[in-house]
Structure 1
Amino acid sequence: MNMKPVLGLAEIDDILAAARNEAQRHGWAVSIALVDDGGHPLGFVRLDGASPGSAYLAIEKARTAALGRRESKAYEDMINGGRVAFLSAPLTATLEGGVPVVANGQCVGALGVSGVKSEQDALVAKAGAARVASAS
């Protein structure tokens, strides 16, 4: 039988806090979503001033990164590079800002962030994901 790590409440709180702190450090009003490795919601934070649309996109960016086991930017790059067939993939948010959360070499979930420029969204998501990477 295979064993895999899973995110517990302590890790969920820590990941969301790290991402929130990074966003607040820059003064960015974003939504932050954390999902498990199957794309199911574990936690969500919408900072003051974040647009309602950012909530939806954050969740979908996280789901895309979890199901694909890669940053959502990879899909954006493939599409922009001419692989338009990825537009038909069952992934809603193929935009930068979704980052897998990896523990012991395994994807245990993903963070999605939306509300500022895509590269800034990714910076916030990576700050949260790094909390698990540094602990594993």
Structure 2
Amino acid sequence: MGAVHPADVPLVEARALVRRAVDKAEQLGLRGAIAVVGASGALVTASRLDHGGPGGMARARSKAWISATQQIPSSEHLRRMTSLPAPISTGFVTASPEALFPGAGGLPLHDADGTVIGGVAASGATVSPFLPTGVAPEVVSADGKPANPEDLLIAYAMGTPYVGQHGDDATRWKDRFGDLTVAPADSLGMKPAPPAAGQHQLDWAIDLIDRVLAEAARQGLRVSVAIVDPGGDPIQQDRMDAAVAGGVEIALATATTAARFGIPSELLAAWCPADQLAALHPAPLLAVPGGIPIEVNGQVVAGLGIGGADPARCAELARDALARTPAPLS
């Protein structure tokens, strides 16, 4: 008999999947974000490659949410949305605000019994189905057939055979490489990628979050953690197994508040009305304890936020983790 309650993909499995995608993305010369959402619809983990730029994380998370909750590839969801009458498709987005970007590329994740336990997707500055300038044909070939970078890194991360989700790979290949063919033995698309070695900001963020998660576990807390750049765009996000779903948004909002204003998140209310600030920028803001700015040489370079437990304890976790973590490179 299966579990009574649906389960989200465990954090350790989701982290490993994202790391494989990061390795492949670096090999392909891509910069963007990869997100894993649980079957519950709550984010499990997400990583942004160095110099990935803002916006990609939100798109990746939306496509992963669609695949996890609708239990289909996001390309199939897109086909359905574009064939439905406008009132229905508009109503779906209204009822499902995390499905704002119904693009192709997201795939559901299954457990050993075939039950959907999550969804994964990638997007960002140069993460797309188009072949990047200078890419070697062998790298974007899967078993001797044309592939596209976005779908390739997801298939590689999942360890499943490559299937294009973005239309005609052959046409894009011909536009770039003409009639060139690559023998299956020479195709590198699904072969092991070297471990990513140039993700210094991401690696620093993961190390900091790992310190938070280890201390939270020691204290018997289940929390979510976010690290964002100075503009509030996420660099790394993680939710501990069995942590409440709402902690994801709390962590992101407190981290964003700390990063954008350069103050601990609880001090924002003394500066200005948070409800009015929300109308000025789409990044979430929350004036409760849990968010701490991160500075290098007096300049704010990131924000750390923790949510899902008592805010005072979350703030203490954040301060302790920062005190024990080397500062990021300026």
**TM-score under structure 1 normalisation?**
0.80
Deviations 1:62-93 (A, max 9, x none): 111100111001124x2xxxx77444223531
- In 2, distance between residues paired with 1:24 and 1:93? 25
2:215 is the counterpart of 1:27:
no
Correspondences of 1:1-136 after superposition (within 5 Å): 8-76=201-269, 78=270, 85-90=273-278, 92-130=285-323, 131-133=325-327
Q: Which has the higher helix share?
A: 1
After superposition, the Cα gap between the structure-2 partners of 1:87 and 1:132, relative to the gap in structure 1 and judged at 3 Å, is farther
Deviations 1:35-83 (A, max 9, x none): 011111000110122111111111111111100111001124x2xxxx7
Q: Using the TM superposition, give the Cα deviation of residue 135 of structure 1 relative to its aligned residue in structure 2, in angstroms.
A: 8.8
Contact preservation (8 Å) 1:12, 1:43: yes
Please list every run of at least 4 consecutive aligned residues from structure 1 whose deviation after the TM superposition is greater than 3 angstroms. Answer: 83-87, 132-136
CA RMSD across the alignment: 2.3
After superposition, the Cα gap between the structure-2 partners of 1:135 and 1:37, relative to the gap in structure 1 and judged at 3 Å, is closer
- In 2, distance between residues paired with 1:59 and 1:86? 15
- In 2, distance between residues paired with 1:45 and 1:87? 26
Contact preservation (8 Å) 2:201, 2:328: no
- In 2, distance between residues paired with 1:135 and 1:127? 20
Q: Using the TM superposition, give the Cα deviation of residue 102 of structure 1 relative to its aligned residue in structure 2, in angstroms.
A: 1.6
- In 1, distance between residues paired with 2:228 and 2:328? 19
Percent identical among aligned pairs is: 31
After superposition, the Cα gap between the structure-2 partners of 1:93 and 1:85, relative to the gap in structure 1 and judged at 3 Å, is closer
Q: Which 10-residue stretch deviates more, 62-71 or 89-98?
A: 89-98
- In 2, distance between residues paired with 1:102 and 1:23? 23
- In 2, distance between residues paired with 1:85 and 1:64? 12
- In 1, distance between residues paired with 2:300 and 2:235? 14
Contact preservation (8 Å) 1:102, 1:132: no
Q: Using the TM superposition, give the Cα deviation of residue 34 of structure 1 relative to its aligned residue in structure 2, in angstroms.
A: 0.6
Q: Aligned AA for 1:132?
A: P
1:4 maps to: none
Q: Using the TM superposition, give the Cα deviation of residue 9 of structure 1 relative to its aligned residue in structure 2, in angstroms.
A: 2.3
Residue aligned with 1:132, SS: coil
Unmatched 5+ stretches in structure 2: 1-199, 279-283
When the two structures are aligned, how many residues end up with a matched partner? 125
Which structure has the bigger radius of gyration? 2
After superposition, the Cα gap between the structure-2 partners of 1:113 and 1:88, relative to the gap in structure 1 and judged at 3 Å, is same
- In 1, distance between residues paired with 2:216 and 2:286? 20
Residue aligned with 1:8, SS: helix
Q: State the structure with bigger RCO (CA 8 A, min sep 6), 1 or 2.
A: 1
- In 2, distance between residues paired with 1:85 and 1:107? 22
Q: Using the TM superposition, give the Cα deviation of residue 103 of structure 1 relative to its aligned residue in structure 2, in angstroms.
A: 2.0
